[in-house]
Amino acid sequence: MTSKSPIKISCAECFTHGKIAREIHSFARGYPSQYHWNIKPSQIKISLVGGVFAPTINSVESLLKIKPLDPVLNLDGIKVYKEKEDLKMATMMAQAVLKISNSDIGIGTSAGIGKGGISVCNDKIILSCTSEIHADLRNSPVNLILERQKSGIEKALFLLENLINGTIDSLYSENIIIRYK
């Protein structure tokens, strides 16, 4: 797939701490930092419109202009959900940042208790999944929290690549939720 004008991408991240946005920007500028991309910057033009780190209830309400789900726990303002709700919040965040930024693709992440939620969407489709690592923000060791974060970043970028490449059909065997709007 080649594109004349860049595909505009925006991110609203929680447990991935803005690292997805940073990687997308690095890739778009020709110096990817961590992720092994299966597309080349010369094949596709992408542009990061913006990335927001939104771990708190207040940040979701004030920056993304949405009412978050009621968390299981409010940990110093940080929203803590179980995995099922994290998947919903990630989708809500992705759709909100897509709309607010007038981007072509929105990405959202949220994780508290469980594997977390990752969502990548455009105006036609929503792709959602979890990371590969189960952790609990309340009491898991730091190394496990960071492993979940790394897995979440990789999964989000994998979903993004498949959305850009139009290879959605290959995702049905990957334990990914695919919803058409």
**Cross-strand pairs, 46:** 7
Residues 6 or more apart whose CB falls under 8 angstroms from that of 143 comprise none
Contact 130, 114 (CB under 8 A): yes
In order, the DSSP letters of the chain are: ---SSPEEEEEEESTTTTHHHHHHHHHHTT---S---SS-TTT--EEEEEEEE--BHHHHHHHS--PPPPPSEEETTEEE-BHHHHHHHHHHHHHHHHHHHT-SEEEEEE-SEES-EEEEE-SSEEEEE--S--EETTTS-HHHHHHHHHHHHHHHHHHHHHHHHT-GGGGGGGT-EEEE-
Return d(Cα 168, Cα 151) in angstroms, integer.
Answer: 20
Name the pLDDT band for 38 (thresholds 50, 70, 90). Answer: confident
85 is written with which tokens? 């709700």
Give pLDDT tens digits for 85-141: 999 999 999 999 999 999 999 999 999 999 999 999 999 999 999 999 999 999 999
Give the pLDDT confidence score for residue 2 in this predicted structure: 47
Residues 55-81 have a mean pLDDT of 96
Give pLDDT tens digits for 145-158: 999 999 999 999 99
Q: Is the dihedral of CA 130, 132, 135, 137 positive or negative?
A: negative
Sequence letter at residue 102? N
Sequence letter at residue 181? K
pTM metric for this prediction: 0.95
Domains in the chain, start-ordered, CATH in brackets? Answer: 7-180 (3.90.950.20)
